[in-house]
């Protein structure tokens, strides 16, 4: 580290020259090298500095401090280092809500029709018993072979290899205008 006296200072342009008995020529100093000081330099100040050789062969003062002048107080950050920005946590919350909504939407098919309860009630038991006695599986597979919607529903539920429910929603012969 070298010691010298600020020979002149141009406050408007932010630079000056330091004269040191240790060096053969004056050394250029820029305000950026003194940014940690609590005041601007003025001619006559004693400066402590390190010498840096530039690519063009000239030298300049770096890491400077003014003798007797305190350094600027560093401001502490009030924000913890590991805390994520608020916008990031909002984004994560929004994505979580969207995922939950999509999950619920997939679980509840909004366009589906109401399917009667599978739990037997007296009216369901009577209808099912009546249908069982009225129809029987005899190899018919297509809507054109059925005589009623009830017969088609019996065949789709109880008989194998039927081809009456193209969209597999449990409702046979949906496009048949006879029913």
The pLDDT assigned to 88 comes to 78
The string of pLDDT tens digits covering residues 1-33 is: 899 999 999 989 999 999 988 888 889 999 998
| pTM: predicted TM-score of the whole model, two decimal places | 0.41
Evaluate the CA torsion angle 51, 52, 57, 58 in order and state its sign.
Answer: negative
Q: Report pLDDT for 9.
A: 93
Contact indicator for 87, 95 with CB cutoff of 8 Å: no
- How much is the pLDDT for 97? 93
Instruction: Reply yes or no on whether the pLDDT at 87 is more than 80.
Output: no
Pick the CATH number of 2-66 from 1.10.10.10, 3.90.1640.30, 2.40.110.10, 2.40.50.140: 2.40.50.140
- At residue 149, does pLDDT exceed 90? no
pLDDT tens, position by position, 26-61: 899 999 988 888 888 989 999 999 999 989 888 899
Question: What 3-state DSSP class applies to 86?
Answer: helix
Q: What is the largest CA-CA distance in the chain?
A: 121
- Residue 161 is predicted with a pLDDT of 84
Question: Pick from 55, 57, 54, 59: which is nearest to 20 by CA?
Answer: 59
Q: Where are the domains of the chain?
A: 2-66, 118-179
Residue 120 scores a pLDDT above 80:
no
């Amino acid at each position: 580290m070298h010691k010298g006296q600020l020979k002149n200072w141009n406050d408007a342009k932010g630079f000056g020259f330091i004269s040191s008995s240790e060096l053969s020529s004056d050394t250029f100093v820029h305000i950026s090298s003194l940014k940690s000081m609590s005041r601007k330099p003025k001619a006559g100040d004693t400066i402590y500095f390190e010498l840096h050789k530039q690519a063009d062969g000239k030298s300049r003062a770096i890491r400077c401090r003014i003798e007797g002048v305190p350094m600027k107080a560093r401001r502490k950050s009030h924000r913890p280092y590991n805390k994520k920005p608020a916008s990031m946590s909002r984004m994560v919350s929004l994505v979580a809500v969207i995922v939950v909504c999509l999950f619920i939407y997939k679980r509840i098919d909004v366009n589906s029709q109401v399917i009667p309860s599978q739990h037997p009630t007296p009216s369901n038991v009577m209808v099912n018993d009546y249908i069982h006695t009225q129809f029987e599986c005899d190899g018919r597979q297509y809507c054109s072979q059925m005589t009623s919607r009830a017969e088609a529903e019996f065949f789709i539920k109880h008989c194998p290899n039927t081809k009456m429910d193209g969209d597999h929603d449990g409702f046979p012969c949906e496009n048949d205008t006879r029913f």
